[in-house]
Structure 1
Amino acid sequence: MSESANSMFGEARNGSWLECTNVIVRTMMNRICSLREENYGREGVLDKVAGILEHRWKSCSGFQGREVVKGGSQFDVFRPSRGASQPESNRLLDVREQTCECGKWQEHGVPCIDAVAYYRLFEMKTMQHILDNHVSEHYKYETVNKLLKENIVPISLDILDQDGVTLPPNHTKRSSGRPRKKRIRKQSCFALDPDKSPIVCSRCKKKGHNVKTYVAREQIEKQHPAELDLY
């Protein structure tokens, strides 16, 4: 999701903070409008989710289900071997809690292949029954249309004016993110007052220079003390 968002908002990288915000808002508006037109008037389960369930329906034809406790909700689903890459295995699922040992059913809200095998082989349900009754509402076009009903309110940058209050934050520390294209070079330590310099020598513990220039300063101070101010 992060990489997809980066590709969508790539145009906003090179502008100012105001232009960046405008590009992000405009991109999101266009995205919502296109999805709204694409899904308008559609009903039922999303095509992608329906395709996944149809594939699971076809793949579970050889599975077997065993009831763990008579009259209970737990079932042990046996998966036959499909070659060296898919050895035989079994999964325990609870149809009342809609959970499976594989974790996919409770994580995504869509019946996993073991749950599909249970509904198909044990309860003799149809594929349409699974789509209508056992898929989360989040994967239906009705929910998508509700989500896309309202769009972002646009703002025209031409009518914006400085009010003296709403200003971008003045950060004294660089925030996390991509590094700058050009390195910001610090001012020479010798151009500052040594007492006010933030640079401290790790060797002599004095301000105004660092350990790299310590030896050169020491030699100049011994031989030509008057030249130290020019160094």
Structure 2
Amino acid sequence: MDSKFIAITLESYIREDISRTVATLRSVLHAKHGHWASHYKVWDAKQKAVAAIYGGFNESYAELPRFLAALKDADPTTVTQLKCDHRSVPGTCTFNCAFWAFGPCIEGFKYCRPVISINATHLYGKYKGKLLIAMATDANNEVYPLAFAVVESESKETWGWFLACLKRYVTNRTNLCIISDRHSGIKACFDDTRMTWLQPPQAHHRYCLRHVVSNVNTKWKISELKNMVWRAASANQVRKFQATLDLIRNVKPAAHRYLENENKEKWTLAHDGGRRYGAMTTNLSECFNGVLKGACSLPITAMVRYTFFKVNSYFDARRNLALEQLEAGQEWCKYAMEKFEKNQAKAKDHMVTRMCTQARLYQVDTPGNPLGNGGGQHTHRVDLRGMTCTCGKWEAYKMPCSHVIAICAKYKHDAQQFIDPYYSVSHRFHSYEPVFQPLKDRLAWPDPEETRVVMPNLHLIRNKGRPKSTRIRNEMDENDRELPTSLWIENGPKSRCGLCRQEGHNRRTCPTRNAESTSGGAAS
């Protein structure tokens, strides 16, 4: 069974859902023809089917300038940038990188918290490369797609160019918090003081906590240490942070020195200054990577087109939902109200003392937990005018803590007035209110600015062999503490036997194979 026949057989399944994995397609092929084709043969057939549906990979690079022009023609607020290198062949150029951000995303981001997470995912098509993604968070703490780019690889140059495009074309907001992993290219960009658009007060760089914990675990592989680093980083008070850091010194002095040498603003909540809005990881944006996984095996123009329709569908669904909530009179999003009600329940046991009416200064005492399993006896200073509480939670999450709610309950104030407007249903609606405009017919697309024929970089062509279509999972995947269950997307199927497709064993230990060999031996 050759790959051309397999491609024809699987074309309808791939057209229906481009994100179908090679493992799934192998199972489909086996169900139809009773034959287990090799992983590579099915992968190769999928590439042929993709080319038949969306056009060839080489032709797709040539079409990219016209499609980017079509996006801008449909909506002038959409931003696209294409960089190409000169070639010795006249009239041609080699693709280097492309950036695009849809107009509705740019406009709606004004109503999202000033926090962006960035990360990269591999391309799995004919040519190697990386898809860079910038994601924000909407009022209900759900991912908000903001901007995309395709580059040859991750480096200081490519990340610097992507971040420069973000600041120049997508948002001019100051005090923007950018959360990322600790890739050397990203770190180099923020360490370079010449990149003024990435320096305070323009931008503040923060690390994803999962990656910090993973780095510590990779170095020392101590489960207790890993948990303590997480606890220290997510502590909302300097006192609690320092106490946990002292415990880390006792467990592993080298780890303590390593953490002391890191900029505490970048990896701890207690020293963050409220920039993160409590977001400690890039989990949500990595989740959206899973949504876009099907796009990463497409030819480049089809990939950009895929993101256009995917993000439009995302906007349309959430716009309708937010509008329903507004019409029902809902003021705050579910995410905010769940946190508020949890704090409200805790506030019932607090003792409030007013220190100064004019200064709106209060002392709040919390009783100790008689069971001794958390919630000790503490005193907190609350300044309603300055919107601060010594517990640190109000500044970190921009949401009234239990101590603020206790004061409001005693003196008949509306505690919800202290919830940040970025958590409101109206802000959520306005973030999705801008509408994606339909594209014109292909024959009506305008001529692009890039008049040369864009060619792929042949040095990036993928070698033959079994391609990796999912990242290797590690301990960071075990405790996704911030990721809502409704948004979790698996990065790939669990390993299955190549013969019977069941989990828990491989070809060599397959019971079916052993049964066949036993019956064959008895027959002979």
* TM tier, smaller: 0.5 to 0.7
Q: Tell me the equivalent position of 1:104.
A: 393
Q: Is the 8 A contact 1:29 1:152 kept in 2?
A: yes
Identify which of 28, 33, 39 aligns with 2:316.
Answer: 33
Determine the C-alpha separation between the residues in 2 that align with 1:66 and 1:166.
73
Q: Is the 8 A contact 1:67 1:74 kept in 2?
A: yes
Q: Tell me the equivalent position of 1:141.
A: 425
Q: Deviations over 1:181-214 (max 9, x none)?
A: 768xxxxxxxxxxxxxxxxxxxxxxxxxxxxxxx
Q: Tell me the equivalent position of 2:303.
A: 20
CA drift at 1:173: 8.9
Determine the C-alpha separation between the residues in 2 that align with 1:37 and 1:166.
42
TM (norm. structure 1) is 0.63
Q: Tell me the equivalent position of 2:332.
A: 45
SS at match of 2:382: strand
SS at match of 1:115: helix
Matches within 5 A, 1:45-64: 45-64=332-351
Identify which of 451, 461, 467 aligns with 1:165.
Answer: 451
- The reply on whether 1:67 has 2:387 as its aligned counterpart is no
Determine the C-alpha separation between the residues in 2 that align with 1:155 and 1:117.
54
Determine the C-alpha separation between the residues in 1 that align with 2:385 and 2:452.
54
Determine the C-alpha separation between the residues in 2 that align with 1:51 and 1:87.
23
Q: Tell me the equivalent position of 1:130.
A: 415
Q: Tell me the equivalent position of 2:373.
A: 84
Determine the C-alpha separation between the residues in 2 that align with 1:64 and 1:166.
73
Greater relative contact order: 1 or 2 (C-alpha under 8 angstroms, separation 6 or more)?
2
Determine the C-alpha separation between the residues in 2 that align with 1:181 and 1:79.
63
SS at match of 1:87: coil
Determine the C-alpha separation between the residues in 1 that align with 2:455 and 2:377.
60
- Count residues in correspondence: 174
Determine the C-alpha separation between the residues in 1 that align with 2:422 and 2:454.
37
Q: Is the 8 A contact 2:352 2:362 kept in 1?
A: yes
Determine the C-alpha separation between the residues in 1 that align with 2:373 and 2:389.
24
Determine the C-alpha separation between the residues in 1 that align with 2:302 and 2:441.
9
Question: Aligned-residue CA RMSD in angstroms?
Answer: 3.1
Query: Structure 1: which amino acid aligns with 2:334?
Result: D
Q: Is the 8 A contact 1:25 1:154 kept in 2?
A: no
SS at match of 1:66: strand
Query: Structure 2: which amino acid aligns with 1:106?
Result: E
Question: Which runs of 5 or more residues in structure 1 are unaligned?
Answer: 175-179, 184-231
- The reply on whether 1:3 has 2:292 as its aligned counterpart is no
Structure showing greater radius of gyration is 1
Equivalent pairs: percent with the same residue?
14
| Cα distance change, pair 117–19 in 1 and its aligned pair in 2 (3 A) | same
Determine the C-alpha separation between the residues in 1 that align with 2:452 and 2:389.
52
| Cα distance change, pair 64–166 in 1 and its aligned pair in 2 (3 A) | farther
Query: Structure 1: which amino acid aligns with 2:427?
Result: T
SS at match of 1:40: helix
| Cα distance change, pair 97–26 in 1 and its aligned pair in 2 (3 A) | same
Determine the C-alpha separation between the residues in 1 that align with 2:382 and 2:455.
53
Q: Deviations over 1:11-57 (max 9, x none)?
A: 11101221111111111100110001112141411133123212211
Q: Is the 8 A contact 2:361 2:382 kept in 1?
A: yes
Query: Structure 2: which amino acid aligns with 1:116?
Result: I
Q: Tell me the equivalent position of 2:505.
A: none
| Cα distance change, pair 70–37 in 1 and its aligned pair in 2 (3 A) | closer
